[in-house]
Amino acid sequence: MDITDIYDKFDQIGCLTFATIDNGIPQTRIAHLFAHDHEGLYFRTMITKPFYEQLKKTEKVSICGMFPKTSVSHNEDGMPYFAPGYTIRATGVIKEISLETLKEKAGSNEMFMLGVKDIEKYPAMTTFCMHKAWGEIYDFDFEMEHRSHKLLRTGFCFGGAVIPFRGVRITDECISCGDCYEGCSFKAISQDNEHFVIDHSKCDVCGDCYTVCPANAIEIVIG
């Protein structure tokens, strides 16, 4: 995926949750991305807001959103039902962009003109670029209405970031009993002769394999 693909996925959602750290305490607010180019993803805030101070202090932000529905309904068993869709998140490093730079960008990319006009209207407004980030699209169809597995994860990164591995994996302690394969409702485990392998693009890290494994052969990797 390139930055345009990533932007389009966020833009389809519109309002996004932006998370920062304020003196060790997580803080969130709703904002949106308004432009992208080869350098990254762009958003705005005002220099008078706590959001601005947190961005300047940490130079980091995490963004996420969900499409197409964020409300939760329930099936006849009272269990939550999520219509097929996706969530997307990106975590990375940001830098403030000057009005002059924004105007230069607006000369060749109309998307940036909105930012210029907004700053002209609200002088306390400023622009940030997320220029180094990694993230993931979590495409879900939990009831398998349109395909034969529940989940498809697509990782992405840009600006020199790498995607860290977090999840579960099968270690050499495996005795090939097949219990995890039978128990994985996400169909993320496959068998190759005596070996069982987790497809991380389909794995929800739900832990069912971890709890069922008789050999403690499932390792949790948290970072």
Instruction: Give the binding site for ligand SF4 (CB under 6 A).
Output: 168, 170, 174-180, 184, 186, 188-189, 196, 198, 203-209, 212-213, 215, 217-218
Given a contact cutoff of 8 angstroms between Cβ atoms, the answer to whether 92 and 130 are in contact is yes
Residues facing residue 89 across a β-bridge: 64, 136
Of the pair 124, 175, the CB lying nearest ligand SF4 is at 175
The full DSSP string for the chain is: --HHHHHHHHHHH-SEEEEEEETTEEEEEEE-EEEEETTEEEEEEETTSHHHHHHHHH-EEEEEEEES----EE-TTS-EE--SEEEEEEEEEEEEE-HHHHHHHHHH-THHHHHHHHHHHSTTEEEEEEEEEEEEEEEE-TT-SSSSSSEEEEEEEETT------EEEE-TT-----HHHHH-TT--EEEETTEEEE-TTT-----HHHHH-TT--EEEE--
Rounded to 10 deg, the angle between the 111-121 and 99-108 helix axes is 140
- Token digits for 66? 């969900």
